[in-house]
């Protein structure tokens, strides 16, 4: 990343989860599976599901309100809103514009960013660049998904994995020596077919045929995505640490994308980070895509597990295929 004298970090976090809980036992009634089968392979026990009247912008705004309150600022002080999502309310306008209106953030520019499960960390790097360049002072980054809307609940290979939720962070200038120290972003578009929603875009516009063939749901080659994730999670974190001039031994808190407990454990092993330094909530929420990392971050901060001066590493992978990692020296606290 480009180095200059302006330190940029997170000054507020927030998260929101829908109230409805769908357990593995609930899924046993819908598809041929079992609590034991799901938990052994994924580490997931339950997930949250938004109701039929709730869209991504609704939960994104609620997480944003929490982040603004934590930062101690008003919506009018936000210069830019970035929403990372693959489940927008509609093709356009963007979720970010809908959130801007709901928050009454009248001074903010707004756009969505699509990098799937890597999206929030991508958004943080974009936000940091805007602030470092002097274009903006405070940027709201949100990761929000209602994946339950694009799941085939008859497909046991995907319906067991995903959940709904939103997480948010406010970025701004912080004390020198703190904030974002190193980043790593990457993509391999040759793997795009491994995880996708085939229809609904210009390649396969919505039709009776695409609906009947369930082409508006998530399609995933689980084995290949797993192999990719195991390889890239550790590599991305190491590259971000190198960018920061640090080594894995410096990590105080590792916050990985919550996709699968075996992938998380593999990344921790690669980095030689003990599991007591790794944040895990996949058992409670499943894979919430772009919301995964900010939800975990907000919960970790709220619990007091992260203290000022701690080295925090965010790392994830997603459809695209994409990957992203960010190293921060935590700037809040005593």
Residue 1's pLDDT band (boundaries 50, 70, 90)? very low
Q: What is the mean pLDDT of residues 108-131?
A: 98
Check which CATH number belongs to the domain holding 184 and give it. Answer: 3.40.47.10
**What is the distance between the alpha carbons of residues 76 and 104, in angstroms, rounded to a whole number?**
7
Q: How many domains does the chain have?
A: 2
Picking from 127, 146, 177, the residue at the C-terminal end of a domain is 177
Q: What is the pLDDT of residues 131-146, one digit of tens each?
A: 999 999 999 999 999 9
Picking from 177, 199, 226, the residue at the C-terminal end of a domain is 177
Residues 185 and 133 in one domain: no
Q: What is the mean pLDDT of the chain?
A: 97
Q: Which residues contact 214 (CB under 8 A, 6 or more apart)?
A: 152
Please give the structure tokens belonging to residue 60.
């994104």
Dihedral pair phi/psi, residue 216, rounded to 5°: -100, 10
Catalytic residue status for 4: no
Catalytic residue status for 117: yes
Q: What is the pLDDT of residues 163-199, one digit of tens each?
A: 999 999 999 999 999 999 999 999 999 999 999 999 9
**What is the distance between the alpha carbons of residues 158 and 277, in angstroms, rounded to a whole number?**
29
Please give the structure tokens belonging to residue 41.
């392979």
SS3 percent helix, strand, coil of the chain, rounded to 5, is 40, 25, 35
Whether residue 334 has pLDDT greater than 80: no
Q: What is the mean pLDDT of residues 54-78?
A: 98
**Which segments of 196-291 does DSSP mark as H helices, in order?**
208-212, 222-244, 261-271, 282-285
Question: For the whole model, what pTM was predicted?
Answer: 0.97
Residue 5's pLDDT band (boundaries 50, 70, 90)? confident
Catalytic residue status for 219: no
Residues 209 and 273 in one domain: yes
321 upstream amide cis, omega within 30 of 0: yes
| Active-site hit among 159, 219, 253, 257 | 257
pLDDT number for residue 2: 44
Residues 78 and 26 in one domain: yes
Residue 86: which domain range? 8-177
Residues 295 and 311 in one domain: yes
Residues 152 and 269 in one domain: no
Picking from 177, 212, 241, the residue at the C-terminal end of a domain is 177
Residue 4's pLDDT band (boundaries 50, 70, 90)? low
| Active-site hit among 97, 117, 326, 331 | 117
| Active-site hit among 97, 159, 219, 287 | 287
Residues 185 and 233 in one domain: yes
Q: What is the mean pLDDT of residues 99-125?
A: 98
Which of 231, 173, 249 minimizes the C-alpha distance to 8?
173
**What is the distance between the alpha carbons of residues 298 and 314, in angstroms, rounded to a whole number?**
12
Share of the chain above pLDDT 90, in %: 98
**What is the distance between the alpha carbons of residues 326 and 42, in angstroms, rounded to a whole number?**
25
Residue 2 within any structural domain of the chain: no
């Amino acid at each position: 990343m480009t180095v200059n004298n302006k330190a940029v970090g997170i000054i507020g976090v927030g998260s929101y989860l829908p109230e409805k809980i769908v357990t593995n036992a609930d899924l046993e009634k819908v598809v041929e599976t079992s609590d034991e089968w799901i938990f052994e392979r994924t580490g997931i026990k339950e997930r949250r599901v938004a109701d039929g009247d709730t869209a991504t912008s609704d939960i994104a705004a609620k997480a944003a309100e929490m982040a603004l309150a934590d930062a101690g600022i008003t919506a009018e002080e936000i210069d830019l809103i970035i929403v990372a999502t693959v489940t927008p309310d509609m093709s356009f306008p963007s979720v970010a514009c809908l959130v801007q209106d709901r928050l009454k953030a009248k001074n903010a520019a707004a756009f969505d960013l699509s990098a799937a499960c890597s999206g929030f960390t991508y958004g943080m790097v974009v936000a940091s660049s805007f602030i470092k360049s002097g274009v903006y002072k405070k940027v709201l980054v949100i990761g929000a998904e209602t994946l339950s809307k694009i799941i085939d609940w008859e497909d046991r290979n995907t319906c067991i994995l995903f959940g709904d939720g939103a997480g948010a962070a406010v970025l701004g200038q912080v004390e020198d020596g703190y904030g974002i120290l190193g980043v790593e972003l990457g993509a391999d578009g040759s793997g795009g077919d491994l995880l996708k929603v085939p229809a609904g875009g210009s390649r396969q516009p919505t039709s009776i045929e695409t609906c009947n063939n369930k082409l508006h749901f998530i399609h995933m080659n689980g084995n290949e995505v797993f192999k990719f994730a195991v390889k890239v999670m550790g590599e991305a974190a190491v590259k971000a640490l190198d960018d920061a001039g640090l080594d894995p031994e410096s990590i105080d808190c590792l916050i990985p994308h919550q996709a699968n407990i075996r992938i998380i454990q593999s990344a921790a092993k690669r980095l030689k980070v003990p599991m007591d330094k790794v944040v895990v909530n996949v058992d409670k929420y499943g894979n919430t895509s772009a919301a995964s990392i900010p939800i975990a971050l907000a919960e970790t901060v709220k619990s007091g597990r992260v203290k000022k001066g701690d080295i925090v590493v965010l790392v994830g992978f997603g459809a695209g295929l994409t990957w992203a990692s960010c190293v921060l020296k935590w700037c809040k606290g005593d």
